[in-house]
A and B are shown apart, each in its own frame.
Chain A
Amino acid sequence: MKAPWILVGRNLRAHWLRTGLTVASLVFTLFLFCFLVSIVTTLEDVVRQSATNRLFVQSAVSLFQDIPLDYQSKIQNVPGAQQVTKFQWFGSYYQNRDNFLAQFGVDHEVLLDMYRREMDILGPDGRASEEARVAAHAALAADRRACIIGEGLARDFGFKVGDTIPLDSTFFRMTDGSSWDFNVVALYHPLKANFDDRQIFFRFDYLDEMRRAGRCLGSEGVGVYVVNVEDGHDSAQVIADIDGLFANGPQRTMTMTEAAFQALFVSMMGNVPFFLGSIGGAVVFAVIFSVVNTMLMSARQRTHEVGILKALGYTDRAVGGLLLVESLVLSLLGGGLGVLVAVTSAEPLRVLMGKFFPAYAVRPETAWWGLLITLGIGIVAGVGPALAAARLRPVQALRSEG
Chain B
Amino acid sequence: MADQAMIRMRGVTKRYQRGGQLLTVLDKLDLDVPRGDFVALMGPSGSGKTTILNLVGGLDAPDEGSIAVADKDITAMSRGDLPGWRSRHVGFVFQAFNLVPVLTALENVLLPLNLQPLSRAERRKQAEFALEVVGLKDRMHHRPRQLSGGQEQRVAIARAIVTDPDLVLADEPTGDLDRESANVVMHLLRRLNDEMRKTLVVVTHDPVAADHARRVLHLDKGVLAREVTNPAPAGRSAAGAGGAR
Q: When the two chains form their complex, are residues A311 and B57 in contact, meaning their CB atoms are under 8 A apart?
A: yes
At the interface, yes or no: B112 with Cβ under 8 Å from chain A?
A: yes
Question: How far is it, in angstroms, between the C-alpha of A315 and the C-alpha of B83 when the chains are bound?
Answer: 6
Q: When the two chains form their complex, are residues A308 and B60 in contact, meaning their CB atoms are under 8 A apart?
A: no
Q: When the two chains form their complex, are residues A6 and B84 in contact, meaning their CB atoms are under 8 A apart?
A: no
Q: Known contacts A313-B86, A315-B83, A398-B94: does B112 contact A6 (CB below 8 Å)?
A: no
Q: Known contacts A393-B60, A394-B59, A395-B60: does B103 contact A312 (CB below 8 Å)?
A: no
At the interface, yes or no: B31 with Cβ under 8 Å from chain A?
A: no
At the interface, yes or no: B107 with Cβ under 8 Å from chain A?
A: yes
Q: Known contacts A305-B100, A395-B60: does B111 contact A311 (CB below 8 Å)?
A: no
Interface residues of A in 1-53 (CB under 8 A from B): 2, 4, 6-7, 10-11, 13-14
Question: How far is it, in angstroms, between the C-alpha of A14 and the C-alpha of B100 when the chains are bound?
Answer: 12
A331: min CB distance to chain B, Å: 20
Q: When the two chains form their complex, are residues A311 and B59 in contact, meaning their CB atoms are under 8 A apart?
A: yes
B61-91 vs A: 1/0 string, CB under 8 Å?
0000000000000000001100110111000
Q: When the two chains form their complex, are residues A4 and B102 in contact, meaning their CB atoms are under 8 A apart?
A: no
Question: How far is it, in angstroms, between the C-alpha of A14 and the C-alpha of B104 when the chains are bound?
Answer: 13
Give the secondary structure class of B's interface: loop
Chain B minimum-CB-distance residue to A396: B60
Question: How far is it, in angstroms, between the C-alpha of A374 and the C-alpha of B96 when the chains are bound?
Answer: 39
Q: When the two chains form their complex, are residues B60 and A7 in contact, meaning their CB atoms are under 8 A apart?
A: no
B residues less than 8 Å from A312 (CB atoms):
86-87, 92, 111-112, 115, 159
Question: How far is it, in angstroms, between the C-alpha of A316 and the C-alpha of B79 when the chains are bound?
Answer: 9
Number of chain A residues close to chain B: CB under 8 A: 25
Question: How far is it, in angstroms, between the C-alpha of A309 and the C-alpha of B92 when the chains are bound?
Answer: 11
A6: min CB distance to chain B, Å: 7
A residues less than 8 Å from B98 (CB atoms):
304, 307-308, 311, 398, 402
At the interface, yes or no: A189 with Cβ under 8 Å from chain B?
A: no
B residues less than 8 Å from A307 (CB atoms):
98
Interface residues of A in 297-317 (CB under 8 A from B): 304-305, 307-316
Point out which of A304, A313, A398 has the most chain B C-beta atoms below 10 A from its C-beta: A313
Q: When the two chains form their complex, are residues A7 and B100 in contact, meaning their CB atoms are under 8 A apart?
A: yes
Point out which of B79, B84, B115 has the most chain A C-beta atoms below 10 A from its C-beta: B115
B residues less than 8 Å from A2 (CB atoms):
114-115
B240: min CB distance to chain A, Å: 30
Give the secondary structure class of A's interface: helix
Question: How far is it, in angstroms, between the C-alpha of A342 and the C-alpha of B87 when the chains are bound?
Answer: 47
Chain B minimum-CB-distance residue to A318: B83
A residues less than 8 Å from B181 (CB atoms):
none
Q: When the two chains form their complex, are residues B103 and A10 in contact, meaning their CB atoms are under 8 A apart?
A: yes
Q: When the two chains form their complex, are residues B92 and A6 in contact, meaning their CB atoms are under 8 A apart?
A: no
Q: Known contacts A7-B103, A315-B83: does B59 contact A309 (CB below 8 Å)?
A: no
Q: When the two chains form their complex, are residues A394 and B100 in contact, meaning their CB atoms are under 8 A apart?
A: no
A354: min CB distance to chain B, Å: 49
At the interface, yes or no: B54 with Cβ under 8 Å from chain A?
A: yes
A residues less than 8 Å from B111 (CB atoms):
4, 309, 312
B residues less than 8 Å from A393 (CB atoms):
59-60
Out of A10, A314, A394, name the residue touching B102 (CB < 8 Å).
A10
Question: How far is it, in angstroms, between the C-alpha of A4 and the C-alpha of B87 when the chains are bound?
Answer: 14
Q: When the two chains form their complex, are residues A394 and B84 in contact, meaning their CB atoms are under 8 A apart?
A: no
A residues less than 8 Å from B54 (CB atoms):
395
B80: min CB distance to chain A, Å: 7
Out of A4, A11, A305, A311, name the residue touching B86 (CB < 8 Å).
A311
A304: min CB distance to chain B, Å: 7
B residues less than 8 Å from A4 (CB atoms):
111, 114
Question: How far is it, in angstroms, between the C-alpha of A11 and the C-alpha of B107 when the chains are bound?
Answer: 14
Question: How far is it, in angstroms, between the C-alpha of A274 and the C-alpha of B84 when the chains are bound?
Answer: 54
B residues less than 8 Å from A305 (CB atoms):
100
Question: How far is it, in angstroms, between the C-alpha of A215 and the C-alpha of B223 when the chains are bound?
Answer: 114
A235: min CB distance to chain B, Å: 68
Q: When the two chains form their complex, are residues B96 and A315 in contact, meaning their CB atoms are under 8 A apart?
A: no
Q: When the two chains form their complex, are residues B102 and A7 in contact, meaning their CB atoms are under 8 A apart?
A: yes
Q: When the two chains form their complex, are residues A315 and B80 in contact, meaning their CB atoms are under 8 A apart?
A: yes
Q: When the two chains form their complex, are residues B86 and A402 in contact, meaning their CB atoms are under 8 A apart?
A: no
A residues less than 8 Å from B102 (CB atoms):
7, 10-11, 13-14
B24-48 vs A: 1/0 string, CB under 8 Å?
0000000000000000000000000
Chain B minimum-CB-distance residue to A314: B83
Out of A10, A14, A395, name the residue touching B59 (CB < 8 Å).
A395
The 7 closest A-B pairs by CB, nearest first: A313-B87, A10-B102, A394-B59, A395-B60, A312-B112, A313-B86, A315-B83
Known: A311-B98, A395-B59. 8 other contacts (CB 8 A): A308-B100, A311-B86, A313-B83, A313-B87, A315-B80, A395-B60, A398-B94, A402-B96
A-B contact pairs, 15 of them (CB 8 A): A307-B98, A308-B99, A309-B111, A311-B59, A311-B98, A312-B86, A312-B87, A313-B84, A315-B80, A316-B83, A394-B60, A395-B60, A398-B94, A398-B98, A402-B96
